[in-house]
Amino acid sequence: MFPAWRVDAARRVAVTDPNVPCARAGGISFAELAGLPELIARPPIGFEPAADYYGNNHIALARCDRCGVRLVKDGNHRLLQSTCRGTDETVFVYEVTSSEWLHCRGDMRHLCGC
């Protein structure tokens, strides 16, 4: 499962533009992001460790129907908070395949080879 943010090769800049090619930005796990406090504090992520992002516990995922790669479309800050704090929160997941959710295709093309 990948967050909506990709990162540059040096792991210093978060990339949200789906038009940036894979050669310039790649996927990163929530665990890797949690280990980069300088990166996640800056925009576009803007994660504040003291904030409470669990206003609700719903997560929306897009899943590639061929290879199974999952991309978090809503709930990135909630999952990053859980990862940073090492907590095991209960979440409710809404998952659709990427072929059903047209808005995910741009993001998914950088995370799976399908």
pLDDT, tens digit, for every residue of 7-25? Answer: 999 999 999 888 888 889 9
Domain membership flag for residue 77: yes
- On the 0-12 / 13-18 / 19+ scale of CB atoms within 10 A, 23 is exposed
Q: Is the pLDDT of residue 97 over 90?
A: no
What's the number of domains the chain is made of? Answer: 1
- The rounded Cα 50 to chain-centroid distance in angstroms is 20
Residue 2 banded pLDDT, cuts 50, 70, 90? very high
Domain membership of residue 91 as a residue range: 6-108
**Predicted pLDDT at 106:** 67
Which ranges constitute the DSSP H helices of the chain?
30-34, 37-41, 76-85, 105-108
Q: What is the pTM of this model?
A: 0.89
Domain membership flag for residue 113: no
Q: Is the pLDDT of residue 114 over 80?
A: no
**Predicted pLDDT at 102:** 65
